[in-house]
Amino acid sequence: MFIKVKDKNQIETVEKLAKDIWIEHYTPIIGKSQISYMLDKFQSAAAISSQIDKDMEYFLILDEGKEIGYMAVEQRKDELFLSKIYIMASMRGRGLGKKAVDFTVKIARKRKLGKIILTVNKNNLSSVKAYEKMGFVKRGTVIQDIGNGFVMDDYRMEKVI
């Protein structure tokens, strides 16, 4: 179900999934121009490769052998940062997000880490609700200037394990 991203073809698959998922999901939340900017800056093949080189771990999410999403984690001292979980719209509502969080919990436990943290756009209400249902609690807000006149306005959430 989860395959660690290691090669160029897998990175290109993540890039394509990112484009498809982000355009569908985030257009009503942050608009086309910010999506375009963020895809180029954070989810292009070059950006993903750079993140992997800096210890971000990407995983393809598969269902019946088909790539239907991706996720990424990064260890930060005594906690695991869940950087992203993105699943194709046609595959949502089937418990795959929960399976991805469960997979993240296994990684954190194996590394003896006490909690998982994440950030989520304040207006991404369906994701905020899903994270809360899976045991994450809001622990503040983070507003980050990402350049080009754009900001990320997020909740910081955590799950103690």
Question: pLDDT digits over 30-68, tens only?
Answer: 999 999 999 999 999 999 999 999 999 999 999 999 999
Gap between the Cα atoms of 60 and 117, Å rounded? 20
Gap between the Cα atoms of 151 and 64, Å rounded? 37
- pLDDT for res 98: 95
- pLDDT for res 9: 98
- pLDDT for res 160: 97
Q: What is the pTM of this model?
A: 0.95
For 128-157, the DSSP string reads: HHHHHHTT-EEEEEEEEEEETTEEEEEEEE
- pLDDT for res 106: 98
Amino acid at 64: E
Percent of the chain residues topping a pLDDT of 70:
100
